[in-house]
Amino acid sequence: MIKLKDGFNGERAIVLPPMIIHIMEKDSLGSILHITDIGYYPKAEHHFRERKEPINQYVFIYCIDGAGWYRIDGHEYQVSANQYFILPAGLPHAYGSDNATPWTIYWIHFKGVLAPYYASETPHPIEIRPEIHSRISQRISLFEEIFNTLKAGYNNENLRYVSSLFHYYLGSLHYLQQYRNASSSCIDDSNVVEVAIHYMKENMEKHITLQDISDHIGYSPSYFSMLFKKKTGHAPLSYFNLLKIQQACFMLDSTDMKINQICYKIGIEDTYYFSRLFSKIMGVSPREYRKSKKG
């Protein structure tokens, strides 16, 4: 295995010990589907992996921003934001981040009796575009629950709970329309603000513009801004910043993530800008806020 470029700013990863993986392989529930490695790489510049010797794990990669590529069985595929792919076990492969626009990815290595079923889709990348009924933010929260449960320890209850959650996680992708629970509702002046806020939450880890939001809902920026401010009291992008800081507060309260890791999770790469924005909205710095909650 060739492995290049480790140590991305804001990254998080867990590699389960071989002893724990062996336990899961023998467990009645875990043997059906279990995780061996899991992580999150934001803006993974120069990220590259090439495995000339096949591994016995399936590799799931979900690109939420930027771009990348992967190569398998003599074919190379381009990956863009809001796409995922699963590399099958037992085949040499390679993948990497785009040089110009490095990808931000959630990734999971997994095994189990049902692993081939979830990996049996087309070899091409699968789209998960944000739209009025998408639930991307909920799926990301589910990933965090899996990650944090594993981080809490490898007792049998945690491992089995993670296995159950992972079934649901993959099911939310495999049965995308059912997960989205599509309805016939449409956008009009009565719900345009709710739709816009939903879109903001679905793109929490990205930098989006007023034009992006307006294009999504099909309104002009000026008319949309007027409606939004009338209902919320805030300009759209100011409200988006409030959502970001609200999410940052939640992570400062409920996780031990470092501040630079939290920055990437809310789509802000500059820790100094994040600290200034946080202080402006909350009245204290992120470090002071976390310290006050622990007191």
pLDDT (tens digit per residue) in 91-101? 999 999 999 99
Question: What is the pLDDT, as a whole number, of residue 291?
Answer: 87
- Whether residue 220 has pLDDT greater than 80: yes
Backbone angles phi, psi at 241, to 5 degrees: -65, -35
Please report, for the chain, the start and end positions of each structural domain, with discontinuous segments joined by +. Answer: 2-180, 192-288
CATH number, domain 2-180: 2.60.120.280
User: Mean per-residue pLDDT for 32-42?
Assistant: 96
pTM of the model: 0.82
- Whether residue 133 has pLDDT greater than 80: no
Name the helix (H) or strand (E) containing 281: helix 271-282
- Whether residue 229 has pLDDT greater than 80: yes
Question: What is the pLDDT, as a whole number, of residue 2?
Answer: 32
Report the C-alpha gap between 47 and 245 in whole angstroms: 29
CATH number, domain 192-288: 1.10.10.60
Whole-number Cα distances in Å, 122 to 63, 99, 165, 170: 17, 26, 24, 15
CA end-to-end distance (rounded Å), the chain: 47
pLDDT (tens digit per residue) in 170-193? 998 888 878 776 444 566 667 889
